Structure formats: structure tokens, C-alpha cells
Amino acid sequence: MKPRTLRIGYRYRARRLAPEYDAIVIGSGMGGLTTAALLSEFGFRVCVLEQHYTAGGYTHSYERGGYEWDVGVHYIGDVGTRTRTRKMFDFLSEGRLKWAPMDAEYDRFYVGDKVFNAVAGKQAFRDNLVRQFPGEEQAIDRYLELLSEMGAAMSAYAMDKVLKPWQRTLAAPFMSWRKPKNLFRNTYTVLSELTDNQDLIATICGQWGDMGLPPKQSAFMVHAMIARHYLYGGFYPVGGSWRIAESIIPRIQKAGGEVFTYAGVQKILVEEGKVTGVEMADGHRIECACVISSAGVENTFERLLPKEAVTATGYERQLGTVHPSMAHLGVYVGLKHTAEELDLPKTNFWIYPHNDYDAAVDEFLADADAPFPVVYISFPSAKDPDYEKRHPGTATVEIVAPAPYAWFEQWTDTTWGKRGDDYEAFKAELGERLMQYLYDKLPQLKGKVDYYEVSTPQSTNWFSGYRHGELYGLDHTAQRLRQDWLGPRTRIPGLWLTGQDVLTCGVTGAMMAGMLTTMAIVGVRRMAPLLKRIYSN
Ligand SMILES: Cc1cc2nc3c(=O)[nH]c(=O)nc-3n(C[C@H](O)[C@H](O)[C@H](O)COP(=O)(O)OP(=O)(O)OC[C@H]3O[C@@H](n4cnc5c(N)ncnc54)[C@H](O)[C@@H]3O)c2cc1C
């Protein structure tokens, strides 16, 4: 099939650059675009440099054979009413971005041969859990209380990242986020203090794939963040996830900035300990004293910065405290019938072999033929009220499952589309395995699939610039979340960080990181009136 691609952004050529920029952003994911758009509001002319052929990072979509798929967005929470999250999206997109609600049952968990689910709305979520687990009312209510406690703690945790080190030391005694003892505790430990019902714990943790760590490995803070995020249901960006970047870019352009694609940055230039600009893959140098990297911490410190600068500032040692998150497989399915005809739900499916998620991961890592520890199935064309207009008479499905990067390491230095027969055969085998999960849950799709293709961790590296096919940047362990150096500020003057490694993964996590990075650059005093304007609307 002939590929056709959704491309947004302006193709990079050195001669297309403006003579001067106030800031350079490396990477056009949600973190980079948010930072660029907010800085534009302060009059900054921002140059966003994206190595891929289209802007958006993990929010980009692609088309092939008359179908369209998203690569890193299946649902966003907290945008159904005028929440702060929604207001920030509205501001960045100048109201262009619209949201479509999923079904009230937004997540369904197949746990062995049992089925549980999550429904939208705090009270409905609670009542639904109580219905599924009669006798566990007290544990469920206490769990919801813990989620509320975490809310305030997470805001303080985020704001702490904007402070300069001396300010952080001064503020430490007042920081309430240091108080909740559960913040960095292991999710399973916290939950097992509430109940010993393993099915209830499994249902509460049924979204663990949203941050990439099963409950015995993840920090409760991240579990709570995800659970709170989706408490009022899931929403899909009308028109597809690529609309996120497309609707934000005009704000950057209005201030004289631009988002360039095919614009791989090769080096961050450092002279006398300070950032002076970037060197592009074509060797062209762009001078700028303010460089913001949203390319991920590993890329920034291990690939882009000169080694001497990393060693001299102590980052080399600190990099050992963080690790990439799990890698994944994607299956992109096209069907020659509409979502309605096929009865596809606006509900995500999470399929687990049994209720011990950590054990399932271990079993899979020990034996590649063991069941996938989680298989996630999403129905984007069903969720998008606009899909039919763009691709009449068709429907799409996306499947995501974990896969160790080691399985694909041997193809590290190969080129996309030219990785050889062994690679294709391996992909085909994995694709067939994952398609069985789909047919098992929706047998009506048998014989209706027109096309499907499989992405691997090497595809993630190729298109998104990562190095270990990581789904969510750095792994969300308690150890990672405790790292003070993971924040917008760096010890290299002129270099700032943003994106999912600064705060947490997720489109909203990256967006909030963009907000924090802007605040760190312009200062809290200048940022406060802008936030007031955004949030009071
Ligand atoms: C399969 C999958 C499903 C997901 N589902 C959801 C979901 O349903 N809801 C949700 O909220 N989140 C979801 N996420 C997570 C979410 O998409 C990410 O956490 C978030 O988009 C990350 O944004 P970011 O800006 O930090 O990074 P990215 O989006 O990764 O952006 C970084 C950008 O930097 C570019 N780059 C890297 N190196 C260079 C370089 N040297 N020069 C120039 N550019 C460079 C990359 O090409 C990339 O575009 C999902 C992720 C995946 C992978």
C-alpha cells in the first residue's frame, strides 16, 4: 500500500530560519509545543526543531492505505468540564481543539476469565466499584480519600520543581507534599493496607499500562495521578491526535516563531560552561542563549551535550539513578466497515492473564511464549466523531503490548523499511499473536480486517528519537520521582528541560511540564498573571 502521511510543521532548511530567535526548543511533542506556545505569549520568537517528518511527537498520527492511526494518544482525562487542564488546552489551541467523550464505561479490564470496569464520574466510579466488590465499601472509600490527598501533594510536588535550589531548601519545611507518607510508597503496598481482595486491587490498578509499571514497582503518586486524571472519564481529540499539534502551532507562528520538521539537532553547543545554541544534523549552527530540550533526559545528556559539560556538572553520575520505561509493540488495524457497523465500543480494553500483574510481567520476561502481561486495545475511529468524514466506510483499531527492547536490539543500526526478512517475520509472528486477542474479544471482526501492520521498539526509536523504544520516557519508579535534578532548570546556564521526563508521562503530564518550564524561564512573577488569565476564563 502506498503510504500517505499527515504532515504538520514546516520542512527545515537552514535558509528558512529567521536571523535570530529568543529560544530554541528541541522536539515538538506536547512538552516542547506547550513551552514554545507559552513563551510566545511573552513575546519570545521560538524556533521548534523536530527531527521527524511531522510535528507533535507522540501526539502525531499517520495515514496509510486510507486509514489513519494515532501513535501515542488513546484518551485524555480531565477535559470534560472547564477544569484547569481543559482551560490550558483551550488556551494553547485558541479553542480550536475539541473533545469527544468516550462511553461512560471508558476502561474495561479482562482479568483472567473475569471482567471488571471503570466508569466516568467520581460517585459513579465509586458506586460501580462497590457493585463489583460488595463488602469492600470501606476500602473503596478510603482509596478515594487517598486519591484526594494525593491531589494537593502533586501540585506542591510540581511547583517545587520550578524553585531554584536555594529556594527549595528554604521552602522545604512548608512543602506539604513532603507530608503524605504514601507519595513515594509502592502502589501495591498502599492498596494492600486497604484490602486483601486481589481482584479489587487488580481493578484499581487496571490502568497500570498508562504509566508503564505494574503495582509492585510503581510509586503510588503516579498511580494516583493517572487514576485522578481519568476519574471523570476519557476523551478523544476530535479529528485525531494530530489535531493537538496542528491547533497549537499557529500560536507559536503568531509571535514570529516556527516549527520545523526534518530538523534533527545533533549537538547542543556549550562554550565556557554556557549554552550558545545548537548544531543541526546538516552541520548548520543556530546561535541562541536559551535552548529547551524536550527530547528526553537520556538524549539530552548522553547524545546532545558535550561529554565534558555533562561530567563537569555532575549529571553523569545522576543519570545512573534513572532508567528507560518499557518498550512496546503496536498493531494498527484497518477495517472496511464503519465502527458503527462493526459495533466497536468507545471503551478501551485491557486484557490481563490473571490478577497478579507483577507476576505476569515476570512470567513474560522469563518466557517469551507466555501470555502478554497486558494487551491494550483501543478503537480510535469509534471515539472520533469526525473519522467517518475523513475516511468514509472504514474503521480502525490499535493494539499496544509490552515487549522487551532486547528482543529488537540486533536491528539497532538498521533503517526503517529495510530491516530484513528476519525482522519482518518476527513482526508478523508477534502481530498474529496480538490479533488473536482482538478476535477473542470481538469475534465479529474475523474476516473483516483489510489491513494491519506492526510497530516495534525500533519504530519508536526511528520516529520518536528514543534509544530503547521507551513508551513513557524515564521509568516512573519512586527513585526517579525523588530526583530533584529532573526539573526545568539545569546546571548548565541557558539549558532547560521540558516534556515527560520533567514531571510525569502523559499528554497532560508533558503539557504541565511545558507550563513549569515556561514559569522557570520567565519567572513566577511574570507567569502568575498569564496563568490567572488562562484559568479564570
Ligand atoms: C503507545 C502509546 C500510547 C500512549 N497513550 C497515551 C494516552 O492515551 N493518553 C496520554 O495522555 N498519554 C499517552 N501516551 C503518553 C504520551 O503520548 C507522552 O507521555 C507524551 O506525549 C510525551 O510528550 P513529550 O513532549 O514529553 O515527548 P515526545 O512526544 O516524545 O516528544 C519528543 C520529541 O522530540 C523529538 N526529538 C528527539 N530527539 C531530537 C533531536 N535530536 N532533534 C530534534 N527533535 C528530536 C522526537 O522526535 C519527538 O517528537 C502514550 C504513549 C505511547 C507511546
* Domains within the chain, CATH numbers bracketed: 3-65+240-322+486-536 (3.50.50.60)
Q: Which pLDDT belongs to residue 289?
A: 98
Which residue, 264, 277, 324, is CA-closest to 305?
277
Does any ligand 1 atom lie closer than 6 A to the CB of residue 427?
A: no
50-90: pLDDT as tens digits: 999 999 999 999 999 999 999 999 999 999 999 999 999 99
Mean pLDDT to the nearest integer, 28-33: 98
Q: Quick: pLDDT tens for 245-294.
A: 999 999 999 999 999 999 999 999 999 999 999 999 999 999 999 999 99
The arithmetic mean of pLDDT across residues 469-477, rounded, is: 93
Mean pLDDT is lowest, of 276-280, 322-326, 415-419, for 415-419
With a 6 A CB cut-off, is 49 part of the ligand 1 pocket? Answer: yes
Owner of C-alpha cell 549529571: 315
Instruction: Judge if the beta carbon of residue 76 lies within 6 A of ligand 1.
Output: yes
- How many angstroms separate the most distant Cα atoms in the chain? 69
pLDDT of residue 171: 82
Cα 58 to ligand 1 centroid, rounded to whole Å = 3
Ligand 1 centre distance from Cα of residue 59 (Å) = 7
> Using CA positions, which residue lies closest to atom 1 of ligand 1?
72
83 vs 417, residue with greater confidence: 83
CA–CA gap between residue 432 and residue 454 (Å, rounded): 10
- What does the pLDDT look like over 387-403, one tens digit per residue? 999 999 999 999 999 99
Q: Outline where 268-407 has alpha helix (H).
A: 297-298, 307-312, 315-318, 339-342, 357-366, 380-383, 387-390
Cα–Cα dist 496/369, whole Å: 43
Q: How far is the CA of 211 from the centre of ligand 1 (A)?
A: 13
User: 40 alpha carbon to ligand 1 midpoint, in Å?
Assistant: 21
Q: Tell whether ligand 1 has an atom less than 6 A from the beta carbon of residue 26.
A: yes
* Closest of 456, 11, 516 to residue 262, by C-alpha: 11
Distances, alpha carbon 516 to alpha carbons 120, 275, 503, 519, in Å: 29, 20, 9, 5
Q: How far is the CA of 60 from the centre of ligand 1 (A)?
A: 9
Give 72 Cα–ligand 1 centroid separation in angstroms: 7
- Give me the pLDDT at residue 85, please: 97
- Of 30, 117, 11, which Cα lies nearest the Cα of 70? 30
pLDDT digits (tens, 9 = 90+) for 212-250: 999 999 999 999 999 999 999 999 999 999 999 999 999
Calculate how far, in angstroms, residue 433's C-alpha sits from the geometric centre of ligand 1: 26
Instruction: Give the pLDDT score at 179.
Output: 67
Q: What does the alpha-carbon distance between residue 434 and residue 401 come to, in Å, rounded to a whole number?
A: 8
CA 28 / ligand 1 centre spacing (Å): 9
Distance 256 CA to ligand 1 centre (A): 25
For residue 89, which of 512, 525, 524 has the smallest C-alpha distance?
Answer: 512
Examine the pLDDT at 368 and tell me if it is beyond 60. yes
Q: Give me the percent of the chain exceeding a pLDDT of 70.
A: 98
Is the pLDDT assigned to residue 165 strictly greater than 90? no
CA distances from 430 to 331, 349, 414, 455, 461 (A): 9, 19, 19, 10, 18
Mean pLDDT of 440-452: 97
pLDDT at position 1: 43
- Ligand 1 pocket check: which of 24, 69, 73, 280 to mutate, most ligand atoms within 8 Å of Cβ? 73
Strands 375-378 and 348-352, by their bridges, are antiparallel
Does the pLDDT value for residue 537 go beyond 50? yes
Which of the pair, 406 or 170, is modelled with greater confidence? Answer: 406
- What pLDDT was estimated at residue 178? 63
Asked whether the predicted pLDDT for residue 465 surpasses 90, the reply is no
CA of 152 to the centre of ligand 1 (A): 26
Statement: the pTM of the whole predicted model exceeds 0.95: yes
Atom of ligand 1 nearest to the CA of 49: 43
- Which atom of ligand 1 is the closest one to the Cα of 71? 1
Q: Does the beta carbon of 110 lie inside 6 Å of ligand 1?
A: no
Atom of ligand 1 nearest to the CA of 31: 25
Asked if residue 36 has pLDDT above 80, the reply is yes
CA distance readout (Å), 284 to 25, 28, 278, 329 = 16, 19, 8, 35
CB 209 within 8 A of CB 376: yes
Q: Whose CA is nearest to atom 31 of ligand 1?
A: 29
Q: What angle do CA 313, 315, 316 make, to 5 degrees?
A: 115
Is the shortest distance between the CB of 506 and ligand 1 below 6 Å?
Answer: yes
Distance 31 CA to ligand 1 centre (A): 8
pLDDT at 5: 58
Query: 294: Cβ below 6 Å to ligand 1?
Result: yes
d(CA 112, CA 477): 26
Ligand 1 contact via 328 beta carbon (within 6 Å): yes
Residue 528 near residue 85, CB atoms below 8 Å: no
In tens, the pLDDT along 170-207 reads 888 777 656 688 889 999 999 999 999 999 999 999 99
Whether 33 lines ligand 1, by a CB cut-off of 6 Å, is no
Average of per-residue pLDDT values in the chain:
95
Q: Greater confidence, 17 or 184?
A: 17
CB of residue 469 inside a 6 A radius of ligand 1 = no
Considering only CA atoms, which residue is closest to atom 48 of ligand 1?
A: 57
165 vs 386, residue with greater confidence: 386
